[in-house]
Amino acid sequence: MKTKSLILFLLLLLTPLQAEMSGLPKAYKIRTISEAIGNAAAGDTIFIPKGTYHETKLIIDKRLVLIGVNKPEIAGNGSESLLLVRASGTIISGFIFRDAGVSFINDNAAVKVENADSVEISNNEFYNNFFAIYLANVTYSLIKKNKIRAVYQSESTSGNGIHLWKCKRISIIDNDVSGHRDGIYFEFVDDSYIKGNKSYKNSRYGLHFMFSHGCKYTANTFEENSAGVAVMFTKKVEMFANIFRNNKGTAAYGLLLKDISDSHIHGNTFDGNSVALFSEGSDRILINNNNFTGNGWAVRLMQNSYNLTFSKNNFSGNTFEVSSNSFQNNNYFSGNYWSEYKGYDLDKDGIGDIPHNPVTLFSVLVEKNSVAMLLMRSFLIEVLNITERIFPAMIPDSIKDLSPSMKEIT
């Protein structure tokens, strides 16, 4: 096995004439990547030296290891796919993939994996591809330390950086994704792990996942996307130690929760987003030990969100701490720090002696009519907010933190 792998490597380094003069069997006289794949046996390792290979529609249908030496480039023609993997146990590492073309029928990708398991795609670079990495019906696989770049032009001509459909137990670790429609996209993906990725300046979401249960997301950064992360129609999700930063726009969120349940969101940083956390139709979610700093809205709760528990979070310098479109509240706030808290602590136990209502009259007015934002920071609004705190009539009295922390929670 080692001998054949070495021969494939050496012959790719030779000129055609040198290969002819080598005296080796004709089957070993390899000039292209497609020839190398065709002549290799299952289990072989193929080393591809530095160079530009104008090859498309490459297919791996047997277990191979493809290693790029000094970053060889597989360059497409802007209209076709580059590499399709249909064999379990395949490893692709050390390449530059460029110019997989737009296709709405085939979902062209630089590297597409179908109906396989135990595949690894690592240490590659992807430029200007419709989809960079696309997994369909794949299990127990790894996508690690890839650099993925595209130049977004329109939503209809831009695919996703890392796209998973109907997959299970996939690890996506330390990738750097920018310029796609969605940086990372999950649909019908279960029991998977996303760690240490950077997904930024994508045209829609940094991370978008639907119908994807039992997944964990940790230590990722979602920054300057049209919206940071959207979690939809999902249960049993854990999101911890992530950074949601500067996701801004008229419909931008750091984290959008829609119809999710039985999940845990903790230890995250929400900084400078238009809306840090938005919840609609969600149930039984524990949200604790997060930092909400300098956002437009820290939390927006729609009336069909139930049993969300906010505890030991820090709310500092947000324009609106909490807003809701309903006077009813079936969610719970306890032991959070609020920079806008005006209460006192006479017994010095670190807990405010009076409850904190994080919903202001102005936030209620804006929720009912967005044009009211024009009055932000006006003297009239400050007077109305003070009056409402003293004689509450329009704000939902049911949204209260009964034991607000006097100090930021560390």
The tens digit of pLDDT for each residue in 279-326 reads: 999 999 999 999 999 999 999 998 889 999 999 999 999 999 998 876
Residue 366 has a pLDDT of 55
Spatial separation of the C-alpha atoms in residues 97 and 126, rounded to whole Å: 5
Residue 341 has a pLDDT of 94
Lowest mean pLDDT among 6-15, 109-118, 265-274, 399-408: 6-15
Residue 59 has a pLDDT of 97
Spatial separation of the C-alpha atoms in residues 47 and 12, rounded to whole Å: 8
Residue 374 has a pLDDT of 47
Largest CA distance in the chain: 96
Residue 275 has a pLDDT of 95
Q: How much is the mean pLDDT over the chain?
A: 87
- 110-127 per-position pLDDT tens digit: 999 999 999 999 999 999
- The pLDDT-based confidence of 28 (bands split at 50, 70, 90) is low
Residue 372 has a pLDDT of 47
Average pLDDT over residues 73-83: 93
The answer, yes or no, to whether residue 16 has pLDDT greater than 80, is: no
- The pLDDT-based confidence of 392 (bands split at 50, 70, 90) is low
- The pLDDT-based confidence of 330 (bands split at 50, 70, 90) is confident
Residue 13 has a pLDDT of 54
Lowest mean pLDDT among 9-18, 81-90, 202-211: 9-18
Confidence (pTM): 0.86
Residue 107 has a pLDDT of 87
| Residue (of 180, 184, 186, 232) closest to 203 by Cα position | 180
The answer, yes or no, to whether residue 235 has pLDDT greater than 80, is: yes
Average pLDDT over residues 384-399: 57
Spatial separation of the C-alpha atoms in residues 221 and 229, rounded to whole Å: 10
Phi-psi region of 199 (alpha: psi -120 to 50; beta: other; left: phi over 0): beta
Residue 158 has a pLDDT of 81
Residue 385 has a pLDDT of 55
- 160-215 per-position pLDDT tens digit: 999 999 999 999 999 999 999 999 999 999 999 999 999 999 999 999 999 999 99
Residue 399 has a pLDDT of 85
Return all residues near 40 (Cβ < 8 A) that are at least 6 apart: 4, 8, 46, 62, 64
Spatial separation of the C-alpha atoms in residues 285 and 332, rounded to whole Å: 10
